[in-house]
């Protein structure tokens, strides 16, 4: 990875941080987003220990459209990008709306991937890879275009599952749109991993996730493997539109293979954000 620039969202914790460190050890230069300067500084220190490239970070709250756009425009000033890893995400026990009037899980977990990717696409080098962290939870996701903002009967896990279904559909449509251009787009399930995921979700969800992580969670190292594989392995260089788990291509749910929904989600996301048209 020496000489390559890797952009990572959500690299201040969990699988995003470990993947960034592994790629830095392989020689990559890491440019990451963070929402907190202190946490960003801590990650930057780890990256400098891992590799001697000129690593950098950009601050942004990725649940806000204006911040997604600003940070992507800032990153677009960097030299050409070899890998874009869309990874920042969360599960919220209670419904919340962003200043844009978007449900916050949808905003952070889906719209940030959509907006940042579309703004950075012209800056991706030939041969570049776009890797998006989805989840096996997508199998429980139901995409109702009549209630994309989950105004009715909000429950944290189903809404999270819907956002992760959006990640697979987004990857599918993106791969179709960029096919033949020398850039690939894939997504993955990292496994159930003992990161900080769920700790700030609130309510019973946090307790449930904490308990499950303590007993069945993979180590963060293990959880970062498929992310690192898709970002750097020669074996993954020519695959596009795939859903991966354990460094192998896997079949996503039937809902995640619906081309009409993938196209419609793209269209709606472009209307919401004003990018990707
Ligand atoms: N852990 C699992 O079992 C699991 C399973 C399947 C999929 N995933 C997916 O894996 C990805 C990474 O999660 P993780 O498990 O590594 O969890 P994590 O340790 O909580 O890391 C999440 C990252 O996203 C960042 N982030 C959260 N909200 C943000 C916001 N509003 N603006 C900017 N950045 C924000 C966090 O920043 P801070 O450091 O500031 O909090 C952190 O860097 C997510 O997309 C998640 O859905 C996780």
Residue 259 lies in a domain: yes
For the chain, give the mean pLDDT.
Answer: 96
Span 124-144, mean pLDDT? 97
Number of domains observed in the structure of the chain: 1
Residue 209 lies in a domain: no
Q: Above 90 in pLDDT, residue 131?
A: yes
Find the domain containing 107 and state its range. 5-191+219-273
Q: Identify each DSSP E strand in 134-255 by its residue range.
A: 184-189, 243-245, 248-250
Residue 206 lies in a domain: no
Residue 134 lies in a domain: yes
Pairwise CA distance, residues 43 & 37, whole Å: 10
Q: Read off the CATH number of the domain in which 264 is found.
A: 3.40.50.720
State whether the beta carbon of 10 lies less than 6 angstroms from ligand 1: yes
Residue 203 lies in a domain: no
Quickly state the pLDDT bin for 212 (edges 50, 70, 90).
Answer: confident
CA angle 277, 270, 90 (to 5 degrees): 140
Span 201-226, mean pLDDT? 87
Q: How far is the CA of 180 from the centre of ligand 1 (A)?
A: 31
**Residue 82: CB partners within 8 Å, gap ≥ 6?**
4, 5, 6, 28, 124, 125, 127, 128, 129
pLDDT of residue 201: 82
Q: How far is the CA of 177 from the centre of ligand 1 (A)?
A: 27
Residue 80 lies in a domain: yes
State whether the beta carbon of 61 lies less than 6 angstroms from ligand 1: yes
State whether the beta carbon of 16 lies less than 6 angstroms from ligand 1: yes
Strands 5-8 and 248-250: unpaired
Residue 19 lies in a domain: yes
The mean-pLDDT minimum among 63-77, 149-163, 199-213 falls in 199-213
| Catalytically annotated residues | 160
Q: How far is the CA of 144 from the centre of ligand 1 (A)?
A: 24
H or E, element range at 24:
helix 14-25
Residue 199 lies in a domain: no
Q: Which atom of ligand 1 is nearest to the CA of 104?
A: 31
Pairwise CA distance, residues 116 & 65, whole Å: 10
pLDDT of residue 106: 98
Q: Above 90 in pLDDT, residue 211?
A: no
Which pair of tokens denotes residue 242? 């795939």
Nearest to 169 by CA among 118, 95, 113, 104: 113
107: exposed, middle or buried (Cβ count in 10 Å: 0-12, 13-18, 19+): buried
Locate tokens 């309510």: which residue?
203
Summarize the chain as % helix, strand, coil (round to 5).
50, 15, 35
State whether the beta carbon of 195 lies less than 6 angstroms from ligand 1: yes
């Amino acid at each position: 990875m020496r000489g390559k620039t890797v952009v990572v969202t959500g690299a201040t914790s969990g699988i995003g941080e470990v993947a960034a460190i592994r790629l830095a050890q392989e020689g990559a230069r890491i440019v990451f987003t963070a929402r907190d300067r202190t946490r960003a500084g801590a990650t930057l220190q780890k990256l400098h220990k891992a590799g001697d490239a000129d690593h950098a970070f950009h601050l942004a709250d990725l649940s806000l459209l204006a911040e997604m756009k600003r940070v992507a425009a800032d990153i677009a000033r960097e030299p050409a990008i070899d890998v874009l890893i869309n990874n920042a995400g969360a599960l919220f026990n209670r419904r919340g709306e962003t200043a844009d009037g978007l449900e916050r899980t949808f905003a952070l977990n889906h719209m940030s991937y959509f907006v940042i990717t579309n703004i950075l696409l012209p800056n991706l080098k030939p041969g570049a890879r776009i890797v998006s962290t989805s989840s096996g939870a997508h199998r429980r996701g139901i995409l109702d275009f009549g209630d994309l903002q989950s105004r009715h009967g909000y429950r944290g896990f189903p809404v999270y599952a819907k956002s992760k279904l959006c990640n697979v559909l987004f990857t599918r449509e993106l791969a179709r749109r960029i096919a033949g251009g020398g850039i690939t787009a894939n997504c993955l399930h990292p496994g159930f991993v003992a990161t900080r995921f769920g700790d700030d979700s609130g309510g019973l969800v946090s307790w449930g996730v904490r308990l499950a992580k303590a007993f069945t969670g993979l180590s963060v190292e293990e959880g970062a493997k498929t992310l690192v594989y898709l970002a750097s392995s020669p074996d993954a260089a020519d695959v596009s539109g795939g859903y991966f788990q354990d460094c192998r291509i896997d079949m996503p749910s039937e809902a995640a293979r619906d081309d009409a929904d993938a196209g419609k989600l793209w269209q709606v996301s472009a209307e919401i954000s004003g990018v990707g048209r």
